[in-house]
Amino acid sequence: MMVDRRGFLKLSGLSIAALATGLGLDLEAAEAQGYALKLSGCTKIPSICHFCSGGCGMLLYIKEGKLIHLEGDPDNPTNEGTLCPKAASLASVAYSPDRPQQPMYRAPGADEWQNISWDEAMERIARKAKEVRDKTFKLTEEVIDAKTGAKETVTVNRAEGIAFIGSAEVDNEESYLITKLSRLIGSPYHEHQARI
Ligand code: SF4
């Protein structure tokens, strides 16, 4: 008899279940006990998935500062305990050895990235933003009066060389701060990825 991979897994599962039943083992009870043992000593923290704008609720189980387990929050009306694969694999994102831990810089023409400090990154971003703002700032603009057709010069104070774009990873508080910064700098270009 030829058995494909899926059939083999199914047969293996059935055999184990049959063996367990034959030995008088209660698989459901064993699973529940394993679950309880895994979460023992953890602090449960309700949270929201940051991957997309769905806003699914999650329960995070933390022990000694480390994420031990996560699952969908059954009390969240958006996802009612379910999670899509992106959120279900979130622990791998947090602890992946490939995750950059500090800012990186690639010089013009270079083909390699180098690690830089947070101070250096912040200083560089601030200097570049100032440079662009100074170069592209528009104080006034000539407009035509819709009623009279007369031209007039009005004050606009726009930083036309700077744009802000939000993403689904940006939460409410960050959105508030980005909006404040955009208005403060004078940029009229303030958009969200979902509208593009
Ligand atoms: S669990 Fe999936 S669908 Fe829900 S917010 Fe996260 S990424 Fe979006």
- Give the pLDDT confidence of 16-37 residue by residue, as tens digits: 556 556 666 677 777 777 777 7
Can you name the residues that pair with 80 across neighbouring β-strands? Answer: none
What residue type is 47 in one-letter code?
A: S
pLDDT at 91: 86
Between CA 174 and CA 167 the distance in angstroms is 10
Q: Which residue has the tokens 């602890």?
A: 95
Can you name the residues that pair with 67 across neighbouring β-strands? Answer: 62
Average pLDDT of the chain is 87
Q: Is 98 in contact with 76 (CB distance < 8 Å)?
A: no
pLDDT at 20: 59
98 has a pLDDT exceeding 80? yes
Higher pLDDT, 33 or 108: 108
Q: Is 7 in contact with 27 (CB distance < 8 Å)?
A: no
Q: How far is ligand 1, taken at its centre, from the CA of residue 51, in Å?
A: 6
The number of the ligand 1 atom at minimal distance from the alpha carbon of 55 is 5
Within a domain: 183:
no
Shared-domain flag, residues 73 and 58: yes
What residue type is 78 in one-letter code?
A: T
Between CA 6 and CA 12 the distance in angstroms is 10
Q: How far is ligand 1, taken at its centre, from the CA of residue 109, in Å?
A: 38
Within a domain: 30:
yes
pTM for this prediction: 0.61
Between CA 26 and CA 17 the distance in angstroms is 9
Nearest protein Cα to ligand 1, atom 4: 56
Within a domain: 33:
yes
What range defines the domain where residue 84 resides?
41-97
